[in-house]
Structure 1
Amino acid sequence: MKEAEASPSQLIDAKVAALGDWRGKTLARLRSLIKEADTEVVEEVKWRKPSNMLGVPVWNHAGIICTGETYKNAVKLTFAKGASLEDPSGLFNSSLEGNTRRAIDFHESDVIDEEAFKALIRAAVALNTSQDRSKRA
């Protein structure tokens, strides 16, 4: 299979496999939780370039929910409209200074609060769909 022919889901699978360490396992688990929280989520891959041939996983539903980037010491999920979301569990721990995005940095020893994370995904979808409906009205 050539990368040009690969679907976004296949590219994300390849990224998880290529990482081959805790970051791949973490990204795979977060991806699974996103799909559990929103069965209508659409996976995309954006920002592919020579230095990052597999690109950045993006999860959409009536707009970007979040992106998943991997770094040496973290898996970062950036919520496109995170500043507009309630975060009662305090999951956001990165990119807190901006007016739009918020992010969660997951580190190797972190335990994911799966229910709080899925609630945040559902809140992001609700925000996207409410804004999408208001554009059509």
Structure 2
Amino acid sequence: MKNTEVQDGRSPSQLIDERIRELGDWRGEMLGRIRKLIRAADPEVVEEWKWRGVPVWSHGGILCTGETYKNVVKMTFAKGASLPDPAQLFNSSLEGNTRRAIDIHEGEAIDEKALTALIQAAVALNQSKPRR
């Protein structure tokens, strides 16, 4: 796993660590679990911190983001509409032509096997297309 630019002397990974700690509730725990799954699914993933505080995971382009709201942790896949989703994890942002998201609410379980496959499919898609 690689880190990109430093902000205020802190790497994106450190900023994500801080976000997880700051949340201090189920959202922080869920963001931490998602992050662990992403890192396991793609050991070469790059962690970034964009748009004033959104954790972003990239490999040859953005894979997904990990946004936290009052009642939901949202994983948005940048090219989700192009990914196979046999387990039907995507349950949000379904109307767009490009992105797809997974909204996770308190107490909901994650299908770790299906999410890992989705992350790996996103990596494969990014690597299959020439970058401009």
Aligning the two structures, in what range does the TM-score lie when normalised by the shorter sequence? over 0.9
Structure 2 equivalent of residue 51 of structure 1: none
Instruction: Report the Cα offset of residue 109 of structure 1.
Output: 1.0
Do residues 96 (structure 1) and 100 (structure 2) align? no
Distance 1:12 1:131 in 2: 28
Instruction: Report the Cα offset of residue 56 of structure 1.
Output: 0.2
CA-to-partner distance for each residue in 1:55-76, whole Å, 9 max, x for gaps? 0000000000001100000000
Number of equivalent positions: 126
Instruction: Report the Cα offset of residue 18 of structure 1.
Output: 0.3
Instruction: Report the Cα offset of residue 119 of structure 1.
Output: 0.2
Structure 2 equivalent of residue 45 of structure 1: 49
2:82 to 74, 81, 84: 84
Pairing of 1:1-137 with structure 2 (within 5 A): 4-48=8-52, 55-132=53-130, 135=131
CA-to-partner distance for each residue in 1:96-131, whole Å, 9 max, x for gaps? 000000000011110000000000000000000001
Unaligned runs of 5+ in 2: 1-6
Moved over 3 A (4+): none
Distance 2:37 2:29 in 1: 12
Distance 1:76 1:123 in 2: 18
Unaligned runs of 5+ in 1: 49-54
Which has a greater percent of helix? 1
Greater C-alpha Rg: 1
Distance 2:40 2:104 in 1: 19
Distance 1:44 1:24 in 2: 17
Sequence identity of aligned pairs in percent? 70
Instruction: Report the Cα offset of residue 17 of structure 1.
Output: 0.3
